[in-house]
Amino acid sequence: MNLDFILRSRRWLAIGMTAGALLARPGRGAEVPDALAGLYHNQSYTVDGAGAGPQAMAPLILFPDHGYTWGREQGRWQLVDGRVRLSERRTWGLASTNQAHELKFAFRQDRRQFVVTMYRAGNAPTNNLQRMDTGLVTPVAPTAPGPGYETRADHDPDGTGVFYLGREIAQVMGHQGAAWLERPTRQQEERPDELIEDLALKPGETVADIGAGTGYLTWRLARKVGEHGLVYAVDIQPEMLELLTRNMAAHRLTNFQTVLDTATDPRLPPRSVDLVLMVDVYHEFRYPYEMLTGLCRALKPGGRVVFVEYRGEDPTVPIKLVHKMSEAQVRKEAAVLPLRWVSTLDNLPRQHVIIFQKIAPR
Same domain, 86 and 157: no
- pLDDT score recorded for residue 210: 98
Name every residue whose Cβ is closer than 8 Å to that of residue 269 and which is 6 or more positions away in sequence.
298
- Number of compact structural domains in the chain: 2
User: Which domain-ending residue is among 139, 169, 202?
Assistant: 139
What are the CA-CA distances from residue 24 to residues 30, 62, 107, 169 (Å)?
A: 6, 18, 11, 36
Q: What are phi and psi of 334, to 5 degrees?
A: -75, -25
Contacts (Cβ under 8 Å, ≥6 apart) of 249: none
Q: With 60 as the cut, is the pLDDT of residue 324 above it?
A: yes
In a domain, 235, yes or no: yes
At 351, the pLDDT band (50, 70, 90 cuts) reads very high
Task: Choose one of 139, 166, 181: the last residue of a domain.
Answer: 139
Same domain, 171 and 301: yes
What's the confidence (pLDDT) of residue 179?
A: 84
Q: What's the alpha-carbon Rg for the chain, to the nearest Å?
A: 22
Highest mean pLDDT among 14-23, 126-135, 173-182, 313-322: 313-322
Which amino acid would we find at residue 287? Y
**Does residue 144 or residue 191 have the better pLDDT?**
191
Give the pLDDT score at 48. 41
What is the identity of the amino acid at 38?
G
198-207, 222-231, 260-269: lowest mean pLDDT where?
260-269
* Residue 265 domain-assigned (yes or no): yes
CATH number at residue 295: 3.40.50.150
pLDDT tens-digit map of 293-321: 999 999 999 999 999 999 999 999 999 99
Mean pLDDT of the chain: 74
Is residue 167 over pLDDT 80? Answer: yes
Query: Which alpha helices (H) appear in 201-326, and where do they start and end?
Result: 218-225, 238-250, 288-298
CA distances from 288 to 3, 146, 165, 291 (A): 33, 9, 10, 5
Task: Give the pLDDT confidence score for residue 175 in this predicted structure.
Answer: 77
Of 112, 139, 166, which residue is a domain's last?
A: 139
At 353 the pLDDT is: 97
**What per-residue confidence (pLDDT) applies to 79?**
67
pLDDT of residue 99: 57
Shared domain for 108 and 214, answered yes or no, is no
Whether residue 178 sits in one domain with residue 112: no
Question: In the prediction, which pLDDT does 109 show?
Answer: 47
- Whether 349 shows a pLDDT value over 90: the answer reads yes
Q: Which whole number is the average pLDDT over 215-236?
A: 97
- Per-residue pLDDT at 332 exceeds 80: yes
Are 71 and 6 part of one and the same domain?
yes
Q: Are residues 153 and 94 in the same domain?
A: no
Q: Which of 168-177, 311-320, 340-349 is predicted with the least confidence, judged by mean pLDDT? A: 168-177
User: CA-CA distance, 189 to 193, in Å (whole number)?
Assistant: 12
Which H or E run contains 190?
Answer: helix 186-190
State the sign of the Cα–Cα–Cα–Cα dihedral 331, 334, 339, 345. negative
In sequence order, what are the residues at sequence separation of 6 or more whose Cβ sits closer than 8 angstroms to the Cβ of residue 64? 39, 40, 41, 42, 43, 44
Which percentage of the chain shows pLDDT scores above 90? Answer: 48
The reply to whether 79 falls in a domain is yes
- What is the four-CA torsion angle of 26, 86, 117, 142, rounded to 10 degrees? -70
Boundaries of domain holding 44: 2-139
Identify whether 342 is part of a domain. yes
Neighbours of 1 (CB within 10 A): 10
Give the model's pLDDT for residue 263. Answer: 87
Looking at the domain assignment, is residue 111 inside a domain? yes
288/196 same-domain check: yes
Beta bridge partners of 351: 310
Say if residue 221's pLDDT is above 90: yes
51 or 342: which carries more pLDDT confidence? 342
Q: Based on the domain organization, do 276 and 232 belong to the same domain?
A: yes
pLDDT given at position 15? 23
Over range 191-196, report the average pLDDT.
96
The reply to whether the predicted model has a pTM over 0.85 is no
On whether residue 78 sits in a domain, the answer given is: yes
> What is the pLDDT at residue 137?
44
Q: DSSP assignment, residue 79?
A: E
- Hey, what amino acid is at 333? E
Chain segment 120-130, per-residue pLDDT in tens: 555 444 445 55
- Same domain as 187, residue 89: no
CB atoms within 10 A of CB 67: 15
Q: Between residues 184 and 22, which one has the greater pLDDT?
A: 184
- Lowest average pLDDT, out of 148-152, 217-221, 274-278, goes to 148-152
- Is residue 144 included in any domain, yes or no? no
What band does 65 get if pLDDT is binned at 50, 70 and 90? low
